[in-house]
Amino acid sequence: MRVLRRLGTLAASAAVAATLIVGLPQPAQAAPAAAEAWTCPAGPEPGVWDPALIRTPVPAVYVWNRKIELRYHGSTRCAWGRISNGVWGDQIWVDWAPSRGAAWRQLGVDSIPYGGTQDYTTAYNDAGFVMRACGKAHDRVEIACTGWY
């Protein structure tokens, strides 16, 4: 009986915590309207593409010595974010918009895995949109974003 009462108390506490968390304002995060519009011909993993065709169309930015880049593959029209010189838990994501920052939306957040020093986001087809890469050190609040491309 005592165990059941304790479980009931824990469940009630969890429900209160969930209500508080759900009630907090959340950043704008939306999935692309149609998955096929975002499909990259070579797949979502930019590591499979020929490095000779990959470029960095806007200058990289730095936050707490982490390098944040927007990378682009011209023949597939796909872009992705990359963070390097980092540590476990540092985050990278891309934002997309129909024009230079108007009504931008965040596309996913990736983190450097345990033992790693870099990570990249999924590659997204940017046809008709502009994109930028943003990132942050895991233990800091400052965020750095590249210019739009």
* HSE of 129, CA atoms in CB hemisphere, 13 A: 22
pTM: 0.70
> In which residue ranges of the chain is pLDDT below 70?
1-39, 41-47, 101
The angle subtended at Cα 117 by Cα 83 and Cα 26, nearest 5°, is 50
Q: How many CB atoms lie within 10 A of CB 50?
A: 9
At 40 the three-state DSSP class reads coil
Distance, in Å, from the CA atom of 116 to the CA atom of 11, rounded to the nearest integer, reads 37
Residues in the chain: 149
Q: Which amino acid is at 3?
A: V
- DSSP-assigned letter for residue 24: S
Read off the pLDDT of residues 67-85 as tens digits, 9 standing for 90 and up.
999 999 887 888 999 999 9
> Could you please report the per-residue DSSP string of 91-136?
EEEEEEESBTTBT-EEEEEEEPPTT-S-EE---EE-TT-EEEEEEE
Predicted confidence at residue 38, as pLDDT, reads 60
Name the residue with tokens 């824990």: 10
Beta bridge partners of 124: 79
